[in-house]
Amino acid sequence: MRIGILGSGLMGGKLGTIFARAGHDVVFSYARSVKKLERLARDTGAEARAGTPREAAEGADVLLLAVHWSRVDDVLGKAGDLSGKIILTCSLPMNADDTALVVGHTSSGAEELARKTPRAHVVSAFGTVPSEVLFSVFGSREDERRPSLVYCGDDEHAKEVVAELIRDVGFDPVDAGPLTIARYIEPFTLLMGQLAYEGDGGPALAYRIERFAD
């Protein structure tokens, strides 16, 4: 797949690196320094390059949106026409100091994003795990017992594509339903953040949904 990274920080930098190492063609974009984007692309040791958001979007099958909520309009404006694209978002609708969700209950960041990009197919995924765990999960992808990763969206094809990427990173994808379910997923992410950053065991943590017979 051709994957454009919109926001090449903690999440975008690591997920882009993993996607490239998993065999995808990745374009890193949107950081404050082009040198950083070039270094990220070089360090993947795989098929990756640096570009502008517009270059990342051109010809992309999937765009990973990984920016602070306050930067969403800016990066979307720079990316240009996203008609027909799959937008995989891990971005959370957080306030400026990252202490609270600014959208919730009756909507979600993912739904607001879908309203901003009505011709694209938005899937919410990867926001429920801290960036610190991503390389470890990728490194353990041959293990039988994979951690879960919930995702949601309204377009079935887009969800299948994203589920494949979730598997590539080393998670077991759990389809949580339509995009409105992001209203539940986004607050859950804050719980994961609490456990990761305020708990005793360090931030490299993931979760597993277990089902039992009745």
Residues that bind ligand NAP (CB under 6 A): 7-12, 30-33, 36, 66-69, 71, 90-92, 94, 127, 130-131, 189
Closest CB 212 distance from ligand NAP, rounded Å: 28
Residue nearest to ligand NAP (CB): 9
Q: Which C-beta is closer to ligand NAP: that of 102 or that of 209?
A: 102
CB atoms within 10 A of CB 116: 15
Q: Which C-beta is closer to ligand NAP: that of 91 or that of 211?
A: 91
Q: Which C-beta is closer to ligand NAP: that of 31 or that of 62?
A: 31
Residue 131: DSSP 8-state: G
Residue 27: DSSP 8-state: E
- The closest alpha carbon to 14, from 195, 70, 144, 22, belongs to 22
Closest CB 159 distance from ligand NAP, rounded Å: 19
Main-chain dihedrals φ then ψ at residue 95, nearest 5 degrees:
-75, 180
Give the torsion through C-alpha atoms of 70, 75, 78, 80, to 10 deg.
-110
Closest CB 38 distance from ligand NAP, rounded Å: 12
Map residue 125 onto helix, strand or coil.
Answer: strand
Closest CB 148 distance from ligand NAP, rounded Å: 15
**Which residues, 6+ apart, have CB-to-CB distance to 69 below 8 Å?**
91, 92, 93, 94, 95, 102, 109
One DSSP character per residue, 144-210 reads: SSPPEEEEEES-HHHHHHHHHHHHHHT-EEEE--SGGGHHHHHHHHHHHHHHHHHSSS-S---B---
Measure the CA–CA gap between 121 and 134, rounded to whole angstroms: 24
- The closest alpha carbon to 113, from 138, 147, 79, belongs to 79
Q: Which C-beta is closer to ligand NAP: that of 21 or that of 193?
A: 193
Q: Which C-beta is closer to ligand NAP: that of 144 or that of 208?
A: 208
Closest CB 71 distance from ligand NAP, rounded Å: 5
Q: Which C-beta is closer to ligand NAP: that of 30 or that of 171?
A: 30
Closest CB 75 distance from ligand NAP, rounded Å: 7
